[in-house]
A and B are shown apart, each in its own frame.
Chain A
């Protein structure tokens, strides 16, 4: 129970930071101050809060869980590709969006799209699709909170109660502190979980009697494939490099880019982003793999047994039985189990707080949704003019309460693991929306109809993938099930982990078709006025 108490103290500290930010902003009921911290974040807070915003439960719990079952491939799949693509998109897109925000006062991506493409209701469609895909991300945070508190307390704090506490704390500091409180909390949390990786690695390494013997034992066992990438196809590995395109298309990341005081604050963020990813993901992935060598933690042995049964007898089982085994073998809590076994109680609590820090990164998504709702819907359809800016901020606060309650209710029902839920819906969808930003900022010929085509295609593709995967049960580990082939080529396949289109993850065709639609539809439709284009690209051409 001691670790759980330490985590509760941490939650209290986080809450205090949010309320302190509220006091700092007392008297200011301006939308730009509440939603963007008056575009005044300094370099240190900007780097750590932007990074922290992008690191969710998924970074620590999901990565170690995925590595536990799939091996070292997890790092190349998600971390090193993100270390290249995300800072590159921040450099190319984030800086430009920041400048446009400063020049024209934009507070959300949709405001920019509406201005750039001279559209109104198409902007509302983009808002609706963005909002629908952002909610799963919030759910992940609440699920991660529930899982963490349940594991840390040794089952004393049930999942529903842990999730409720995390939801309440996040909701409170976002409600009171707005962007300033969220950024400060994120900075605090990022520093915590940057320390977490190194400490966890040392403590668990010492506890296991050194990693050398563990790694060599795995190498000599049938589990040696976990030290390679044999379990994942090169097509799948390549596909994953499209996923980090989602980062800059996530509204909370783009909105965060608007909070920098100066453009120079992007410099350190761009350079240090890959190093921060390395510092967090490398220990988590390594520990996830090494957990397979642990024999004295019954829960880990049960997971391994479930994985073995699934691999050997899965094909003769009913889909429900396979799902049950998949859930049992999921490794989202392995890192917590390792800490419980090898770290002293007080340290397990501190490290648990580090995990909570990552888990609670859903704050930015909640704030972003609130910002989008109040700016793109409430203010755009006349609410701000009619009721004033103070009411707009209060509306944003009420929205925060409603969206958190909704996400909590869904989190209690969701059967998927943290990792799968994130990837299948939010990440692929936002990656598919990334051509919107590229076209808006770099292609003067792009039009609102192209933007609409991209948005509708993204929504349809996400729904299609979700429907296909819920209608067609996942096969047992091993060969995939082909559902549609053309001239001997496998077009649509149901794999144990999801769906493949021509052997690639759905995100690849989703992004490519999005880009193609933007080009074709834009070329076939009327461009915005020359004056509008000139505001974005300089002199008329």
Chain B
């Protein structure tokens, strides 16, 4: 279930990248940042948060174990 939710989150963020709703708006956030630029700056922060979720809940720990096993075996044979 956790994995499915993470896949959905990745797909949702990818879709949110295509923000056609701000396409023609030149509105200035805080009086100087164009809304389209502000949105994508926030998108970058959201991407970092998503990466934190992936690293926390879907970390490929088995890879580390496999490498440790191989290194242990090499240590025994050498």
Contacts and interface: CB of A to CB of B under 8 A. Distances in A.
Interface string B1-25: 0000000001001100111101111
Interface in A220-266: 224-225, 227-230, 234, 237-238, 241, 262-264
B24 to A, nearest CB: 5
Interface in B7-50: 10, 13-14, 17-20, 22-26, 28, 31-34, 36-37, 40-41, 43-45, 47-48, 50
A227 B47 contact: no
A273 interface: yes
B60 interface: yes
Given A95-B63, A263-B63, A270 B41 contact: no
Interface residues of B, number: 39
10 nearest interchain CB pairs?
A99-B63, A227-B26, A274-B47, A227-B34, A80-B40, A278-B44, A215-B32, A72-B37, A274-B48, A83-B44
Contact of B17 (A84, A211, A228): A84
Contact of A275 (B23, B33, B45, B59): B45
Contact of B48 (A230, A263, A272): A272
A337 B47 CA distance: 33
A58 interface: no
Interface of B: 10, 13-14, 17-20, 22-26, 28, 31-34, 36-37, 40-41, 43-45, 47-48, 50-52, 54-55, 59-60, 63-64, 66-67, 70-71
Given A227-B26, A230-B23, A278-B41, A83 B48 contact: yes
A219 B25 CA distance: 10
A274 B44 contact: yes
14 contacts: A79-B44, A95-B63, A98-B63, A212-B31, A215-B28, A227-B26, A228-B22, A228-B36, A229-B24, A263-B63, A263-B64, A267-B55, A271-B52, A275-B44
A228 B48 contact: no
Interface in A60-90: 72-73, 75-76, 79-81, 83-84, 87-88
A interface, size bucket: 35 or more
Contacts, number: 133
A91 interface: yes
User: Is the contact region of chain B dominated by helix, strand, or loop, or is it mixed?
Assistant: helix
B17 A81 contact: yes
Contacts of B10: 84, 88
A286 B30 CA distance: 14
A95 B60 CA distance: 8
A101 B33 CA distance: 45
B37 A275 contact: no
A270 B24 CA distance: 33
A229 B50 CA distance: 26
Contacts of B67: 99, 102-103, 263
Given A72-B34, A80-B17, A262-B64, A87 B23 contact: no
A289 B34 CA distance: 10
Nearest to B34: A227
Interface in A5-26: none
Given A75-B41, A274-B44, A278-B41, A103 B70 contact: yes
A80 B67 CA distance: 33
Nearest to B67: A102
Contacts of B23: 228-230, 234
- Chain A CB count within 10 A is highest, among B51, B59, B60, for B51
Contacts of B48: 83, 271-275
Interface in A134-151: none
B17 A241 contact: yes
Contacts of B17: 76, 80-81, 84, 241
Contacts of A237: 18
B60 A84 contact: no
A277 B63 CA distance: 28
Contacts of A234: 18, 20, 23
B64 A274 contact: no
B54 A270 contact: yes
Interface in A146-203: none
A519 interface: no
A348 interface: no
Contact of A271 (B24, B37, B51): B51
B19 to A, nearest CB: 8
B51 A273 contact: yes
A421 to B, nearest CB: 25
B72 to A, nearest CB: 12
Instruction: Determine which residue in B25, B37, B41, B63 has the highest number of CB atoms from chain A within 10 A of its CB, and name it.
Output: B37
Nearest to B10: A88
B28 A96 contact: no
B32 to A, nearest CB: 4
A431 B67 CA distance: 29
A411 interface: no
